[in-house]
Amino acid sequence: MEYLIHLVVPKAGRLTPAMLEWAFAHSGDPTQPETFHPFRRLKPRSLALLLLKLDRTLIAEPGEGGDVILHYPIRDLGIRLYLHDRGVVLTFPLMNSLLARIVLGICYVYIRYLYDQAGFWSYDPQLNVISYADDYQSIDETAALLDALLPRMLNAPGG
């Protein structure tokens, strides 16, 4: 089970719930005009180069259709950045306690860097929080959610 955070660059310079709803409903629809799409189109390879300036230890691999996947070099932490033409999906495994705070700290460095360098906003669907630049207070909120979710997920059928 993975925790995920969506990172996008809104065309309007801000991100709203209505923009997210539209994107989740229509982003895969080729009949929707580009002008309706709320997020800027990106070049995954250029974005990968930007992230590699921050952290040269990231391990790159091709994704489907020109997408790029960047893995954190310590694979046991499970941090992955999936770069596509509309943004980044940052994922890591559900975990609790101290390790979660370490992983979250690493992830929020990437989030803050993308905000500072390219205007990315983030959306955390688990907390239903939109942010223009996640700060380290979000780590405590996310870690508390992980601490609450993990026991339920492990006890769920098939968990």
| pLDDT score of 68 | 98
**Structure-model confidence comparison of residues 143 and 29, the more confident one:** 29
Percent of the chain with pLDDT over 70: 81
Residue boundaries of the structural domains of the chain: 2-155
- Tell me the pLDDT band of 139, cut-offs 50, 70 and 90: low
**Model confidence over 38-91: pLDDT tens digits?**
999 999 999 999 999 999 999 999 999 999 999 999 998 999 999 999 999 999
Query: What pTM, to 2 d.p., does this model score?
Result: 0.84
Are β-strands 129-131 and 2-8 bridged in parallel, bridged antiparallel, or unpaired?
Answer: unpaired
* Terminal Cα-to-Cα distance of the chain (whole angstroms): 9
Is 2-155 CATH 3.30.310?
yes
Containing 110, the helix (H) or strand (E) segment is: helix 97-118
Least confident of 104-118, 123-137, 145-159: 145-159
